[in-house]
Amino acid sequence: MESWFTPGMRTRAHSHSGPEAFYVIDGEQCTETPTDRQKIQAGESYIVPKGAHLQAAPKGRRSLVVILAPEGEPWMKLTSDWAGTDFCQ
C-alpha cells in the first residue's frame, strides 16, 4: 500500500503478526521498536520484524508499505504494554 503522513503524524504503538517493510518515497520516517530506533530518509528502506513498533513523520512523508501476515492471523493489533519514547517527536 502507499502511505502518507502529514507533518507531525504519529501512529499508536501497534504490532503485526509478520514483518512490515517500508520504502520511503519522500520525506523522512521515524520508526521505533522496543529494541531499535531508526530514521529512514527518502530512497531508503527498512523492515520491522514481527512485534511492537510505532512510526512518525515529524516533517511528513510518503512511503510504500508491505505487511506480511500469516493466514488466519490479524494483520494489526494495538499494543498496550509498550508506548515508545520521545525519539520520534
pLDDT digits (tens, 9 = 90+) for 37-80: 999 999 999 999 888 999 999 999 999 999 998 999 988 999 88
H helices within the chain, ranges in order? none
pLDDT of 88 over the 90 cut: no
CATH of the domain spanning 2-68: 2.60.120.10
The label of the residue with cell 507533518 reads 7
* Average per-residue pLDDT for the chain: 92
Distances 47 to 7, 18, 20, 52, 65 between C-alpha atoms, Å: 22, 11, 6, 13, 10
In this model, does residue 89 exceed pLDDT 90? no
pTM: predicted TM-score of the whole model, two decimal places? 0.86
